[in-house]
Amino acid sequence: MSNESLANLMKEERRFAPPADLAANANVKAAAYEQAAADRLGFWAEQAKRLTWATEPTQTLDWTNAPFARWFADGKLNVAYNCVDRHVEAGNGDRVAIHFEGEPGDTRSLTYTELQREVSKAANALTSLGVEAGDRVAIYMPMIPETVIAMLACARLGAPHSVVFGGFSADALATRINDADARVVITSDGGYRRGKPSALKPAVDEALTKPGTENVRNVLVVRRTGQDTAWMEGRDVWWHELVDQQSDQHTPQAFDAEHPLFILYTSGTTGKPKGILHTTGGYLTQVSYTHHAVFDLKPETDVYWCTADVGWVTGHSYITYGPLSNGATEVLYEGTPDTPHQGRWWEIVQKYGVTILYTAPTAIRAAMKWGDDIPAKFDLSSLRVLGSVGEPINPEAWIWYRKHIGADRTPVVDTWWQTETGGIMLSPLPGVTAAKPGSAQVPLPGIAATVVDDEANEVPDGGGGYLVLTEPWPSMLRTIWGDDQRYLDTYWSRFEGKYFAGDGAKKDEDGDVWLLGRVDDVMLVSGHNISTTEVESALVSHPKVAEAAVVGATDPQTTQSICAFVILRGGVEQDEALVNELRAHVAQSLGPIAKPKRILPVQELPKTRSGKIMRRLLRDVAENRDMGDVSTLTDSSVMGLIQSQLSSAP
């Protein structure tokens, strides 16, 4: 990336030091960086002691068959035992593990003792359906306690799960069932979304008519909404009939540290979805450590809430495995943030006294758009750490989050990681780092990352290029399920010996890392590399803009030209003058080269379930092409809306 254009970009001078009391009592202090730098493998061997092993590992990393890693390979453990039973054995059985809040307002709290019974019953039920260690189980569920219970029951049996987001279509589900060769599907009649029951079981029924899904023997169905549900005798089994009658005693068996724990599919921009494979010991070590370090979790007093869907990796690592391995008390919320009103999340924070909140920039921008007065109506004073994940967080959204949710007092941790990395890789530490709005800043202790140029040379401070991970880490993906070659090609062939993350990045003058979006999204305008993220952040910093998505459209004169889709704040009129004002604002913030050629006001932007803008689809619109696959959009009508709006525009 040319340094000349970058030099203008993202001059962020604001710094926020950790609050003194948090710094003094932080779980992880600055010394961790030095310790890990002096002996990285020794550091991870130390962190593995956070877990309870049936057989303690004597080896840390086996990298002899790089890039196929084995961590703690001679150790044995059971993940569910680590997330549940050991807390009961330690005398914490009465602590609440999960405060469930249904969208209609029904609630249920499960202590660790209750969770242990439920997971044991579910494990016995799966065994009765013939599930054995190594069998794959697909989970297609709403956000309810049984989803977490089902994941833990699979883990307890050593049966790798493949959670498929409940918003995905029957086709997307069938592809994933087929690729993983799942034997059982766990689902529910439906879940509540936007005030209504929304069915799930019909998509399973349809998926199971498609070729490649014949090996599914049983469908285990949780009754959540009570809606009418078609039934296939012999195949379909009600959870409340089968699970509830099981014994609540189950002895967990220890599995090898490298036993598969789960497969999670990432769609990527092209081609068939990649089944990212995670294994047991290294994964649990890193998610446990990072959850402890990044959120400063104090299990006796904190109430933690991650708003992600469990169908996203964030739900796996920071709803199920990280928090529960640490004995956390957490909130699980079923529904949407604006049902029945736009203050629902803040009401939940107030109700449960949430102390740590982990969410995505898209949700923060939506809350900004709805207005400052909404969170102001609730008591949010329990909050002490705020996290962000999923996309670069625009500095203005970061500042808003800290100010309006965190009372201008709480640290904000911007956590960079991927399905493939399994756990958080770059993030400030809330008790250590002087935080910069918009930057994920530094690799965590024990993690080695840098930014390189096209020739794989590390860029100096101030330079830009590609984010790479230069040493293996415990929760790294082990391969792409069934496709070792694709694993090598996708991640390890771009730069010799380094993991290619696919994200553009730059280092600022302090050496802190700024993520600039997926490499496919970086634009080339008249010989300058310009990041979509930076132009979006410039647009969002204008008081009339709530959200922005920027793409590079093919242009005969300039290679690509910048096309911006913007959502205006409530009440703002769109006209020619406003478009000119926004173009001038970007030119002033970033330099004339970054001025969008076109700015198109729209009502909605196409997003994935994890809130990522699907720029590929917007590029199709900007270049007047037919749209590609829209099956992983949260709301597939959005693209039609954008197209009809643009075709009716003058």
Binding to ligand 6R9 in span 207-266, by CB under 6 A: 266
- 510 assigned to a ligand binding site: no
DSSP 481-527: TT-HHHHHHHHSSSSTTSEEEEEEEEE-TTS-EEEEEEGGG-EEETT
Dihedrals phi, psi of 262, to nearest 5 degrees: -160, 165
- 419 assigned to a ligand binding site: yes
Q: Does 503 bind ligand 6R9 (CB under 6 A)?
A: yes
Output 287 or 389, the one with its CB closest to ligand 6R9: 389
Cβ atoms < 10 Å from Cβ of 494: 18
- DSSP 3-state of 382: coil
- 392 assigned to a ligand binding site: yes
- 542 assigned to a ligand binding site: yes
Structure tokens at 546: 């709530």
> What CA–CA distance (Å, rounded) separates 251 from 94?
20
Q: Which helix (H) or strand (E) holds 528?
A: strand 528-530
Among 213, 326, 419, 532, binds ligand 6R9 (CB under 6 A): 419
- 416 assigned to a ligand binding site: yes
Q: Does 501 bind ligand 6R9 (CB under 6 A)?
A: yes
Among 27, 82, 326, 415, binds ligand 6R9 (CB under 6 A): 415
189 secondary structure, DSSP code: S
Q: Which helix (H) or strand (E) holds 5?
A: helix 3-8
Output 149 or 513, the one with its CB closest to ligand 6R9: 513
> What CA–CA distance (Å, rounded) separates 543 from 439?
21
Across the beta sheet with 303-306, what order do the strands follow?
A: 107-111, 96-101, 329-333, 303-306, 356-359, 385-388, 412-414
Output 73 or 413, the one with its CB closest to ligand 6R9: 413
- 417 assigned to a ligand binding site: yes
Among 102, 322, 327, 390, binds ligand 6R9 (CB under 6 A): 390
Query: In the complex, what is the shortest distance from the CB of residue 313 to ligand 6R9, in angstroms, rounded to a whole number?
Result: 5
Contact region for ligand 6R9 (CB under 6 A) — 78-86, 120-128, 410-418, 569-577? 410-418
Binding to ligand 6R9 in span 508-527, by CB under 6 A: 515, 518
> What CA–CA distance (Å, rounded) separates 142 from 345?
18
β-pairing verdict for 190-193 and 96-101:
unpaired
The set of residues, in sequence order, having a beta carbon less than 8 Å from that of 216 and lying 6+ positions away, is 138, 177, 182, 183, 184, 185, 208, 235
Q: Does 418 bind ligand 6R9 (CB under 6 A)?
A: yes
For residues 602 to 621, the per-residue mask of contacts with ligand 6R9, x marking binding by CB under 6 A and - elsewhere, is --------x-----------
Q: Does 391 bind ligand 6R9 (CB under 6 A)?
A: yes
Single-letter amino acid code for the residue at 462: G
For residues 370 to 389, the per-residue mask of contacts with ligand 6R9, x marking binding by CB under 6 A and - elsewhere, is -------------------x
What is the size of the binding site for ligand 6R9 (CB under 6 A)? Answer: 21
Contact region for ligand 6R9 (CB under 6 A) — 109-117, 132-140, 309-317, 585-593? 309-317
DSSP 236-286: EEEHHHHTTTS-S--PPPPEETTSEEEEEEE--SSSSPEEEEEESHHHHHH
Output 387 or 463, the one with its CB closest to ligand 6R9: 387
Residue ranges in contact with ligand 6R9 by CB under 6 A: 266, 312-314, 389-392, 414-419, 440, 501-503, 515, 518, 610
Residue stretches of the annotated binding site for CoA:
193-196, 314, 526
